[in-house]
Chains A and B, each alone.
Chain A
């Protein structure tokens, strides 16, 4: 199985901050990398698919980049509704695997 390692596991930030989360795959995943966020008690929500494509309806402050085994999610200006846990997910190979999550908390 492909292992997905996210860092950091948690971070504290303020509204307006630029936030970057990284995801490392254990092998090349050919950009088949998606990002989700999840708020407490809710289902995850797709933000970015195929490394850098914004899901319709997702604000443009979210962006994704990377290639091969190293990927990043950037929030250009953190908003109050962005405090959540973020997960990366690869689908180059089955089984689909997720990163361990990054919890973005208010400073």
Chain B
């Protein structure tokens, strides 16, 4: 049974960066995509982008282009998502989700990122 295990909650200052990890346990990256979806408090789901770990290629939503970097380490089956220049409206739960293309079948438990001065 594949599980995605994410890193713990973070509290950050505006203007700083955060890097969230997502480890695949019980399986390999395979040919799946790894997607990142965030959810602001009380709000809906927002897709940030995805990476194909096998190839190392990433595709970002326009909104996050230039401020977000997604990477993957095949040796440890761990995906990472870094957000730079954090603002208060980046406060959200960040989920990783493994996809068949972008059919998101397996999700991590979520990582709460709080941006506050």
Contacts and interface: CB of A to CB of B under 8 A. Distances in A.
B110 interface: yes
Interface in B67-117: 95, 97, 100-105, 107-110
B45 interface: yes
Contact of A44 (B45, B46, B59, B103): B45
Contacts of B97: 43-44
Q: How large is the interface on A (under 10, 10 to 19, 20 to 34, 35 or more residues)?
A: 20 to 34
Chain A interface, >50% SS class: loop
Interface of B is mostly: strand
Nearest to A45: B107
Central interface residue in B47, B97, B108, B109, by most chain A CB within 10 Å: B47
Interface of A: 1, 34, 36, 38, 43-46, 49-50, 55, 87, 89, 91, 94-101
